[in-house]
Structure 1
Amino acid sequence: MGQYEQSAKELLELVGGSENISAVTHCATRMRFVLNETDKADKKAIEAMDIVKGTFTNAGQFQIIIGNEVAKFYNEFTGVAGVEDTSKDEAKVVAKQNLNPLQRLISNLAEIFTPLIPALVVGGLILGFRNVIGDIPEFGPDNDQALIELSQFWAGTHHFLWLIGEAIFHFLPVGIVWSITRKMGTTQILGIVLGLTLVSPQLLNAYGVAGADEIPVWDFGFATVDMIGYQAQVIPAILAGFLLAYFEIWLRKIIPNVISMIFVPFFALVPAVLVAHVVLGPIGWVIGDWISTVVYNGLTSGLGWLFASLFGFLYAPLVITGLHHMTNAIDLQLMSQFDGTMLWPMIALSNIAQGSAVVAIIFLHRKDEKEQQVSIPSAISCYLGVTEPAMFGINLKYGFPFLAAMVGSAIAGTVSVASGVMANSIGVGGIPGFLSIQAEHMLMFFLSMAIAIVVPIILTTILAKSPMGKNAYERLGK
């Protein structure tokens, strides 16, 4: 008998048997099930198992927190259950069958931006570092000079780093269109080429359109098309990428395989580029400007504090639904139009607040060794920008820590927005989020960060002794 065979048999029975498992895979700490009927899973009994640290449902998947031994347990479970090994991508495809149309849309957006996150993180750090050495006049004999004014080394570094920053943000449409073709299973190099046509040096740079005396055009005799680039534009790239992908998918259905290598790329790419510049680009530009202007005006208006408090309070629930992925596109659009974003600092603060609520639970339940196997890694994960383990494994389980974190996030977000705190980029969350904050706003961000740490800890401790906390403990049998 294997080390986990008995537990695997018990879990198989509690999830409804092999016939109820549509797909199963695992990540670093969790088993991920796509169940045919989720109601058949006995969640309370599953959570009572010694090997289980918690359960939650997200993106159509029933997830069971096992811990670091998940890989070994998974291997024995699949052997006992008689189910095939499933990749994460395959599980996601199956899980989408359990999602409604809005959830599928959000899932698709997540799949587009997730592969771009590493580059965006690097870009944010680089822009932050360039601000520190180029925009802070706190150096020199009189503390009134920036580092680039004092040293040729720092001046050269400042100039060199823009090579990377420009590649990431100005040429972002290339990455977006590539990511869409990757997700849709179409030809990725065509996506790269289409993205390049949106940011070609032949075009008038998007940042120069407002001040241009004259916009160059392609003159076809009977019509002209503006030669405008879409540097850092998100929505035009998304629209163009999906158009190319659907063109290619449709053409592969009607063009014989023997000539598809020649005609599919040509008849997919050329019309896609034309439509992107004539129709989708201008439409996407207007939509993107409208969205970013509404959000920016909302944050900077007299009611900005209300917008900030609502966003800070509701961001964590948005994570539960998956709707938070939509903020990536809004953040990037704000960066394009206003050279920074006020949303991302609030997201980082929400991460910190959720982690701080878990820290309070760690202190309150310091004698519960089993729970600490989940709570301690979850708190660390939160402080590094990944909140799902903490929210689903601890905060939502009890309820009151989740509310405490939402309140702390709302207060911290309000202070951040009222102070005009702005980030260079998205991607760096949690406590490391300060690295993406523009240099002149770091002090107020640190104050907001302190609020996001202290308020949830204090409020969680207070609520634990309130009727709300007592009801939670009674419900969980503690």
Structure 2
Amino acid sequence: MSKYTDPSKELLKHIGGKENIAAVTHCVTRMRFVLNDPSKADVKSIESIGLVKGTFTQAGQFQVIIGNEVSSFYNEFEKIAGVEGASKEEAKIAAKKNQNWLQRMMGHLAEIFTPLIPALVVGGLILGFRNIIGDIKLLDDGTKTIIEVSQFWAGVHSFLWLIGEAIFHFLPVGITWSVAKKMGASQILGIVLGITLVSPQLLNAYAVAGAKEIPTWDFGFAHIKMIGYQAQVIPAILAGLTLGFLETRLRKVVPNSISMIVVPFFALVPAVLIAHTILGPIGWQIGSGISHVVYSSLTSSFGWLFAAIFGFAYAPLVITGLHHMTNAIDLQLMSELGGTNLWPMIALSNIAQGSAVLAMIFINRKNEEEKQVSIPATISCYLGVTEPAMFGINLKYGFPFLAAMIGSMVAGVVSVASGVMANSIGVGGLPGILSIQAKHMAMFGVCMIIAIVVPFLLTNIFAKTGMNKFSLKK
């Protein structure tokens, strides 16, 4: 009998038994259950199990935090429960029955953008580094930039744009690929569709505003504008959805004997035509409208109020999964304005949550068992991954979560009031400063200090004034 046997038996009992498990899998630190009846799970009893470090429900899945031992625990639980583990994809599908329409929509959006995040993070770091060596006058008594005095760094600056351009200007290719993959369409057709949106044949999206004449395809009875959609998000999403819809529907009606010829042709050609005649222009207008509203809200005389609301509410949005919509808004702001003033607040929210856990480490410094959760949670939070901190510690006690929300709000207001802009989405938390535009790095550093100090102090104050009885997690 291993050390996981008894905890596995307890978990099975308190989760509602084998018959209550629709699917189960695990990730790096958590068991992920899809339950037939989530109300049968006895959360308090589960969290009292020795190896369990916390629980939470997200995206229709009941998740039990185990830690680094999760793989061994999972294997023992699988034997004890007599259930076969599901793949992560199968678990996601099963979990959708526990989600409302908004949660499902946000889940779809997350699945589109999640595969793109590594590239976007790299792109953000590259743009930040290029700004430092190419825009800040650091040499010759503040009169010259690094690339003006060094041919080597001038070459590096030019070379890195090769990657930056590939990531951001050709972003629609990644989006249409991801949408095609998500919908079960041919991924190569998604890539081809994306390329048709950014082809060198087309007038570059960044040149449209200043163009004296826009070239067109002349069909005699109709003209179609040859406009590219470099860095555009919504046109690419709409085009990808159209391709996915056409291909998956055609597969159902076209005989297998000719499907290899008929389906790709009658899916791709109409999708490209619809993208350039209808969806592209409409998507461009929608995207421009969204970015205008967000940017105007953040730069208006009431920008501080928008920042306060967003900074305070972002962490709760993470719990619901609604935070995924900010990726599309950030990318749209980047394409329209050359940067985003929304993303810095997200990085500050991550820092604030980590600082609240840091305060709990100080408050409960004699609790060795809790340190197994709180210390790794703080580190991961400062590096941009907030879930272990929020679900393992802050929501468990409640008042640290509130302290972090207030700290995020204050830091967000200062960030927006100071006009801080990021080049792009980047690594959340402390490394986020590398994605901030060079001229705003110093001010963002001040905001980071606020996001560290305010939650730490408030968490300690709340703990000493009776708010430690307040819990958001029932």
TM > 0.5 fold call: yes
Deviation at 1:453, TM superposition (A): 0.1
2:389 maps to 390
Q: CA deviation at 1:465?
A: 1.4
Give the whole-Å Cα distance in 1 for the aligned partners of 2:389 and 2:7.
Answer: 24
Residue-pair matches, total: 474
Name the structure 1 match of 2:433.
Answer: 434
User: SS at the partner of 1:28?
Assistant: coil
Q: Identity over the aligned pairs, expressed in percent? A: 73
Distance in 2 (CA, whole Å) between partners of 1:467 and 1:174 is 54
Q: Which residue is equivalent to 1:164?
A: 163
Partner of 2:401: 402
Residue 6 of structure 1 corresponds to 6
Letter of the aligned partner of 1:376 in structure 2?
Answer: I
What displacement does 1:467 show?
2.5
Alpha-carbon displacement from aligned partner over 1:269-318 (angstroms, at most 9, x marks no partner): 00000000000000000000000000001111111111111110110011
CA distance in 2, matches of 1:323, 1:4: 35
Q: Please list the CA deviations of residues 332-367 of structure 1 after superposition, one character each: whole Å capped at 9, or x if unmatched.
A: 000000000000100000000000000000100011
TM-score for both structures, normalised by structure 1: 0.98
Q: Indicate the SS of the match to 1:248.
A: helix
For 1:57 and 1:222, the matched residues in 2 are separated by 57
Please tell me whether the aligned partners of residues 357 and 400 of structure 2 are also in contact (alpha carbons under 8 angstroms). Answer: yes
Distance 2:457 2:191 in 1: 50
Deviation at 1:427, TM superposition (A): 2.8
CA distance in 1, matches of 2:196, 2:335: 18
1:149 aligns with 2:156: no
The residue aligned with 2:410 is 411
CA distance in 1, matches of 2:12, 2:391: 22
Residue 268 (structure 2) aligns with = 269
Structure-2 residue corresponding to 1:296: 295
Name the structure 2 match of 1:421.
420
Deviation at 1:94, TM superposition (A): 0.9
Provide the secondary structure at the position in 2 that maps to 1:31.
strand
Matches within 5 A, 1:2-41: 2-41=2-41
User: Whole-Å Cα distance in 2 between the matches of residues 67 and 262 of structure 1?
Assistant: 50
Q: In the superposition, relative to structure 1, how do residues 147 and 471 fare at CA in structure 2: closer, same or farther (>3 Å)?
A: closer
Residue 197 of structure 1 corresponds to 196
Are positions 1:469 and 2:452 aligned together?
no
Secondary structure at 1:225 match in 2: strand
Q: Which residue of 2 aligns with 1:55?
A: 55
Check if 1:180 corresponds to 2:172.
no
Deviation at 1:92, TM superposition (A): 1.0
Aligned counterpart, 1:97: 97
Query: What 5-or-longer segments of structure 1 have no aligned partner?
Result: none
> SS at 2:117's partner residue?
helix
Kindly provide the CA deviation profile for residues 29-71 of structure 1, in whole angstroms up to 9, marking residues without a partner as x: 1100000000101100010111111111111110111111110
Q: CA deviation at 1:2?
A: 3.1
Shift of the alpha carbon at 1:90? 1.3
SS of structure 1 residue aligned to 2:62: strand
Correspondence 1:307 to 2:306:
yes
Structure 2 residue identity aligned to 1:310: I
How big is the shift at 1:204?
0.3
Aligned partners of 2:384 and 2:321: how far apart in 1?
Answer: 16
The Cα of 1:472 is off from its aligned counterpart by 4.9
Q: What are the superposed Cα offsets for residues 163-216 of structure 1, whole Å, 9 maximum, x if unpaired? A: 000000000000000001111111000000000000000000000000000000
1:106 is matched with: 106
**Counterpart residue number, 1:129:** 129
* CA gap 1:250/1:470 in 2 versus in 1, 3 angstroms: closer
Whole-Å Cα distance in 1 between the matches of residues 273 and 18 of structure 2? 51
Instruction: Kindly indicate whether residue 440 of structure 2 is the aligned counterpart of residue 457 of structure 1.
Output: no
Structure 2 portions without partners, runs of 5+: none
Q: Residue 3 of structure 1: CA displacement?
A: 3.1
Give the equivalent residue in structure 2 for 1:365: 364
SS in 2 for 1:230: coil
Q: Which residue of 2 aligns with 1:232?
A: 231
Residue 370 of structure 1 and its aligned partner are, at CA, apart by 1.3
The residue that corresponds to 1:84 in the other structure is: 84
TM-superposed deviation, 1:369: 1.3
2:397–2:470: 8 Å Cα contact kept in structure 1? Answer: no
Please tell me the residue identity of whatever aligns with 2:416.
Answer: V
Secondary structure at the counterpart of residue 275 of structure 2: helix
For residues 207 and 470 of structure 2, the distance between their equivalents in structure 1, rounded to whole angstroms, comes to 60
Matched, 1:74 2:71: no
2-side partners of 1:393 and 1:156: how far apart?
Answer: 47
Deviation at 1:226, TM superposition (A): 0.5
Q: Kindly provide the amino acid, as one letter, of the partner of residue 84 in structure 1.
A: E
TM (normalized to structure 2)?
A: 0.99
What secondary structure does 1:229 align onto?
coil
Look up the equivalent residue of 2:159 and give its one-letter code. Answer: F
Aligned to 1:243: 242
Q: How does 1:316-355 map to 2 (within 5 A)?
A: 316-355=315-354
Cα separation, 2, equivalents of 1:286 and 1:470: 49
1:458 CA drift (Å): 0.1
Contact 2:171 2:232 in 1 (8 A): yes
TM superposition shift of 1:89: 1.5
**CA distance in structure 2 between the partners assigned to 1:321 and 1:7 by the alignment:** 29
Q: What letter is aligned with 1:338?
A: L
The one-letter amino acid paired with 1:132 is I
Greater CA drift, 142-151 or 347-356: 142-151
User: Which amino acid in the other structure matches residue 76 of structure 2?
Assistant: E
Q: Distance in 2 between matches of 1:427 and 1:46?
A: 36
**1:4 offset after TM fit, Å?**
1.2
1:404 and 1:472 map into 2 onto residues whose CA distance is 12
Partner Cα distance (1:405, 1:361) in 2:
12
Q: Secondary structure at the match of 2:227?
A: coil
Tell me by how many angstroms 1:7 deviates.
Answer: 1.5
Separation in 1 of the partners of 2:394 and 2:271? 47
**Shift in Å, 1:471:** 4.8
- Mapped to 1, the partners of 2:219 and 2:122 lie a distance apart of 42
Tell me the distance in 2 between the aligned counterparts of 1:418 and 1:211: 31
Report the alpha carbon displacement of residue 139 of structure 1 after superposing the two structures with TM. 1.0
Query: Secondary structure at 2:22's aligned position in 1?
Result: strand
Amino acid at match of 2:89: D
Q: In the alignment, is the contact (CA less than 8 A) between 2:330 and 2:343 conserved in 1? A: yes
